[in-house]
Amino acid sequence: MRFRRLFPLILTLALPAGAAAAAPPPMVTLLGDSITAGLGLSEADALPAQLQAALARKGVRATVRGAGVSGDTTEGGLARVDFSVASDTRLCVVELGANDYLQSIPPEQTRRNLQAIVQRLKVRHIRVLVAGGTVPERSAGAYARAFNAMFPDVAKAEGVALEPDFLAGVQARAALKQADGLHPNAAGVRLIATRLAGYVAKAL
């Protein structure tokens, strides 16, 4: 009789803490530059918030955390990846490289940095989605070709997911950019987030 009275208590104690509660949504961290940081935009209009909203519209539960630093290059991202991307991250979107291009950093150096970032994340068992970029070859020739090839090459070499053209549909449209002609405005960010959400959902 005593054992029977204790049995429900034993079962209760054996259940893991919070077993009755739903598991927390997976964490997506954006490791990026000024676009991730939301330069010139409100927090609600910035990419982290807009990506989380776009995922929710697709029925995907996820929390999106921004780890963006304005002006950051792949070298800067590599220097901070270990502490900027927290251990609770399920998927890291690497949105870096545009400032390397603007500073004319050799594509091979950018490639090494980008590949090292991906490798650091993989060692920590964090999934990776590389946000690629393209620049017009007619204006930058061989440099542009090398730059454009870098993102898919790294993704393929490391076996990680790729968003092939992060700024597609925004880069050439002034109406989707801020006054500086470089950074997307709120409407541009919404377009980026809507497209990126499909790649993030698949990578999760």
Residues designated as active site: 34, 180, 183
Q: Tally Cβ neighbours within 10 Å of residue 127.
A: 18
Distance set, CA 10 to CA 7, 15, 165 (Å): 5, 9, 55
For the stretch 99-102, contacts whose Cβ atoms lie closer than 8 Å and that sit 24 or more positions apart, written own/partner, are 99/33, 99/71, 99/72, 99/73, 100/73, 100/74, 100/75, 101/133, 101/135, 101/147
Of 30, 57, 3, give the one whose Cα is nearest residue 203.
Answer: 30
Of 47, 48, 107, give the one whose Cα is nearest residue 74.
Answer: 107
Location of structure tokens 């009275």: 5
